[in-house]
């Protein structure tokens, strides 16, 4: 997931902190060294991970209440992100988490049993204290995705630009029919890689066409997945 959400949609263009990339001298292996603010990138509870060996804990399906409140899409040079007005919520751990934004990674950041997917969406939620919960959904190659069909023509082609959406979008259309999921503790997958993020990755993928993945890649011009990080003893439950 991307880390600038707390700055709010209106300042997403400002670009704070040291420049970072997905390759080369400012790539993932260097993130922790780019600025002291990125110390957590060298931490022990980092994301993404390869999801395997889940311990069965009888997790109940996730409960969301999503509204059509996505109102703009931003190209920040690192990803393409839809920002949400308040009103879409996730119930978790007896608290209410508000959907702030969702954004995409191609190829996927998390893996499942060693498998990468062509695309992953991260739905980023925060509770009233700023604790983060991210719902990940994998896209496997197949039929055209109807939710992406509405969004893709509106993606801003230039970095550091944004478009107002023609009609408000709900994140509900990105979810698989069944809400069974894996859960683990992790981090932001971009600098400053802050830990303590509740990760919830849906077990069932949805589909995306080869053409839709290619269209995303042609706008971003580069892969935007951090490599998988060591679990370091963390337990994944389902
Ligand atoms: Zn992400």
pLDDT computed for residue 2 by the predictor: 52
* Among candidate residues 65, 74, 71, the one with its CA nearest the CA of residue 85: 71
**In the chain, which ranges are E strands?**
50-51, 63-65, 70-75, 80-84, 89-92, 95-105, 111-112, 119-126, 132-141, 161-169, 181-187, 195-202, 206-208
What integer pLDDT is reported at residue 224 of this predicted model?
Answer: 98
H or E, element range at 213: helix 210-220
Rg (CA), the chain: 16
Q: What is the pLDDT of residue 14?
A: 41
Distance CA 191, CA 34 (A): 9
* CA of residue 60 to ligand 1 center, whole Å: 24
Find the farthest-apart pair of alpha carbons in the chain and give their distance in angstroms, rounded.
46
119 CA → ligand 1 middle, Å:
11
| Low-confidence stretches of the chain (pLDDT beneath 70) | 1-17
Close Cβ partners of 179 (under 8 Å, ≥ 6 residues apart):
61, 62, 63, 64, 202
Per this entry, what is the length of the chain?
A: 238
Give the residue among 199, 230, 217 at the shortest CA–CA distance from 137.
199
Q: Are 141 and 209 in contact (CB under 8 A)?
A: yes
The catalytic position among 56, 78, 111, 125 is 78
Ligand 1 centre to CA of 114 (Å) is 19
Q: What is the spatial distance between Cα 92 and Cα 171, in angstroms, rounded to a whole number?
A: 17
Q: What is the pLDDT of residue 169?
A: 97
The pLDDT value recorded for residue 17 is 59
Q: What's the first-to-final CA gap in the chain, in angstroms?
A: 21
Burial class (CB in 10 A: 0-12, 13-18, 19+), 209: middle
User: If you measure from the C-alpha of residue 36 to the centroid of ligand 1, how many angstroms do you get, rounded to a whole number?
Assistant: 22
pLDDT tens-digit map of 15-56: 445 799 999 999 999 999 999 999 999 999 999 999 999 999
125 in active site: no
Tell how far the Cα of 204 is from the centroid of ligand 1, in angstroms: 18
pLDDT in tens, 74-87: 999 999 999 999 99
Tokens (6 digits) for 20: 């970072």
Q: Return the pLDDT at 11.
A: 35
Distance, CA 21 to ligand 1 centroid (Å)?
14
Taking the C-alpha atoms of residue 215 and residue 195, their distance in angstroms, rounded to an integer, is 32
> How far apart are the CA of 157 and the centre of ligand 1, in A?
19
pLDDT value of residue 6: 41
CATH class for the region spanning 29-220: alpha beta
Per-residue model confidence (pLDDT) at position 53? 95
């Amino acid at each position: 997931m991307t880390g600038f959400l707390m700055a709010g949609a209106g300042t997403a263009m400002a670009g704070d902190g040291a420049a970072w990339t997905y390759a080369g001298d400012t790539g993932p292996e260097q993130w922790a060294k780019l600025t002291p603010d990125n110390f957590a990138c060298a931490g022990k509870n980092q994301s993404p991970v390869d999801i395997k060996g889940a311990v069965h804990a009888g997790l109940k399906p996730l409960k969301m209440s999503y509204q059509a409140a996505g109102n703009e899409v931003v190209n920040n040079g690192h990803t393409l992100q839809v920002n949400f007005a308040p009103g879409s919520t996730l119930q978790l751990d007896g608290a209410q988490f508000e959907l702030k934004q969702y954004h995409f990674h191609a190829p996927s950041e998390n893996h499942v049993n060693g498998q990468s997917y062509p695309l992953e969406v991260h739905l980023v939620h925060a509770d009233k204290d700023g604790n983060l919960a991210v719902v990940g959904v994998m896209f496997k190659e197949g039929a055209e995705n109807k939710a992406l069909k509405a969004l893709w023509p509106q993606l801003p082609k230039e970095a550091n630009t944004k478009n107002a959406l023609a009609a408000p979008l709900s994140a509900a259309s990105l979810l698989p029919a069944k809400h069974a999921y894996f859960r683990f503790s992790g981090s932001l997958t971009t600098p400053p890689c802050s830990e303590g993020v509740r990760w919830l990755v849906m077990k069932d993928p949805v589909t995306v066409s080869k053409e839709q993945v290619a269209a995303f890649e042609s706008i971003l011009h580069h892969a935007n997945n951090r490599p998988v990080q060591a679990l370091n003893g963390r337990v994944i439950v389902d």
